[in-house]
Each structure stands twice: as C-alpha cells, then as structure tokens.
C-alpha cells in the first residue's frame, strides 16, 4: 500500500490562499502551468496553514492540562528546545533553540508541555522578542511558579538570505521573572544551559 499522509486543512482557506499564491507566482514571472509548479500553490497554502497553526491553539489550556501538585521547589530546566517560526516582517523563517527554567511553587507541569508552549507561539507570525515574552508570561501567569526564565537563540533567514546577508549571526533574547531576577539564580540557570 502506498504511503498516505493525512492532514486536515480548512478547504475554504486552502482554496483562497492557493489562488493568491498562484497569482504571486505568476506576477513574479513564472508559469504556474509548468509541471513542477502545478501543485505548488496548493502545497504553499497548506504549508502556511501548518506554519501558523499556533493561532488556533490555546497555550494556557495546554499547561493546565498537565499541572500536578508537587512539593518539589528546585529549578526545573528544559533546554535545547527546537523552534521554527516565521518573521512577521518578511515571512521568512527563523529557527533555533529555546531554554526554559522554572522554580515550582506547589505545582509542576508535564515536561513535554514546555516545548508545546514554544511551538504554539512559534507557529505564528512573530518577532523573537515577542516570542520570548509570550512563552515567559504564559508559564508565569498559568503555573505561578517562584520564578521563570526563558532564553531563545535563533538564526533569521531575513538576515541570512537577504538584507545584510550575514550567515553566522545568532540573535539571543531572554526574559526573567520572580526568583530569576536575582543575579545568583539567573547565573545558575545560565551556567546550566551553557551560557
């Protein structure tokens, strides 16, 4: 039996975006009737829906769905979380890693939920600064820990492929709440993630 991948997309949105992509490709001077481009507008429409699916997901519900009472009150770190997003200025990818830490205050959260929160916010048109703050605030406001820290390191295709064309630049953003605003706690976190 041949491989069959099942994905669900809004048919109306797919058709509308497909037509727009077809027009864009034609406006750029390409022939959308040639063999390699026949299905490109539809594939691009589906890809864009996938890459922006975070608009239709609730990060608070994701966290609340896996919160557990626990007396543990030391630092919890999930580091090197892969992330892929689209720069809202050029709709070009940026990608890298997020590092998240929190100090529980009576509740812990399932470890897989932290990467899922990153994905929810990354799967939107973004800037790295806002992405960092959204992840930070969602965890802080929902879990209500003693403190939370987020560091994101990413490469931006809008800087690499166009514009300034700097291939090896990495942008780092960070945010700290609660106990992580104290320099000794922040330094312990940064040392543990290798920064």
Binding-site positions read 87, 90, 158
Q: Among residues 61, 82, 89, 181, which one is catalytic? A: 89
Q: Does the active-site annotation cover 107? A: no
The binding site for Zn(2+) comprises 87, 90, 158
Q: Among residues 82, 88, 129, 181, which one is catalytic? A: 88
Q: Does the active-site annotation cover 156? A: yes
User: What is the H or E stretch that residue 147 is in?
Assistant: strand 147-156
Q: Does the active-site annotation cover 90? A: yes
Q: Does the active-site annotation cover 99? A: no
Token couple for 181: 């605003």
Q: Of the candidates 108, 93, 90, which has an alpha carbon nearest to the alpha carbon of residue 148?
A: 108
Residues 6+ apart with CB under 8 A from 120: 54, 57, 58, 59, 62
Q: Does the active-site annotation cover 56? A: no
Q: Among residues 57, 90, 107, 146, which one is catalytic? A: 90
What is the C-alpha to C-alpha distance for residues 168 and 190, in angstroms, rounded to an integer?
22
Catalytic residues: 87-90, 128, 156, 158
């Amino acid at each position: 039996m041949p491989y069959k991948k099942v994905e669900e997309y809004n048919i109306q949105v797919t058709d509308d975006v497909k037509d727009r992509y077809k027009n864009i490709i034609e406006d750029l001077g390409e022939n959308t009737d040639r063999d390699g481009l026949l299905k490109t507008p539809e594939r691009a429409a589906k890809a864009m829906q996938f890459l922006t699916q975070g608009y239709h997901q609730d990060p608070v519900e994701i966290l609340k769905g896996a919160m557990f009472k626990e007396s543990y009150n030391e630092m919890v770190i999930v580091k090197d979380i892969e992330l892929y997003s689209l720069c809202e200025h050029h709709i070009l990818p940026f990608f890298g890693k997020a590092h998240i830490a929190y100090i529980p205050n009576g509740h812990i959260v399932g470890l897989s939920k932290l990467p899922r929160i990153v994905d929810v916010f990354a799967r939107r048109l973004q800037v790295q600064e806002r992405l960092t703050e959204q992840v930070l605030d969602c965890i802080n406001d929902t879990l209500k820990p003693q403190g939370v820290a987020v560091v994101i390191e990413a490469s931006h295709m809008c800087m690499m492929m166009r514009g300034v064309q700097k291939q090896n630049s990495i942008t780092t953003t960070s945010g700290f709440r609660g106990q992580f605003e104290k320099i000794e706690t922040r330094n312990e976190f940064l040392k543990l993630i290798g920064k």
